[in-house]
Amino acid sequence: MGVGLTTESTGGTGNGADNGADDDTGSGADNGDDNATRAAVEAYLAALNAHDADAVAACVAEDFVNEHTSSTGQSRRGRAAYRAALTGFLAEFGDLRYVPEHVLVDGARAAVPYVMTFRMRSAGDRPVRIRGVFLFTVAKGLVTHRTDYWDGDEVRRQLA
Residues 93-140 pLDDT 10s: 999 999 999 999 999 999 999 999 999 999 999 999 999 999 999 999
Q: Which amino acid does the sequence have at 102?
A: H
- Predicted confidence (pLDDT) per residue in 40-68, tens digit: 999 999 999 999 999 999 999 999 999 98
Q: What is the mean pLDDT of residues 10-32?
A: 43
Residue pair 105/34 in contact by the 8 Å Cβ criterion? yes
Helices (H) and strands (E) in the chain, counts: 4, 9
Give residue 28's Cα distance to chain centre: 27
Residue pair 143/41 in contact by the 8 Å Cβ criterion? yes
Quote the pTM value.
0.80
Nearest-angstrom CA–CA distance, 130 and 153: 10
Look at residue 4 in the predicted model and tell me its pLDDT: 47
Q: Which domains does the chain have, with CATH numbers?
A: 6-159 (3.10.450.50)
Look at residue 135 in the predicted model and tell me its pLDDT: 98
Rounded alpha-carbon distances, angstroms, from residue 68 to 21, 74, 107: 30, 6, 23
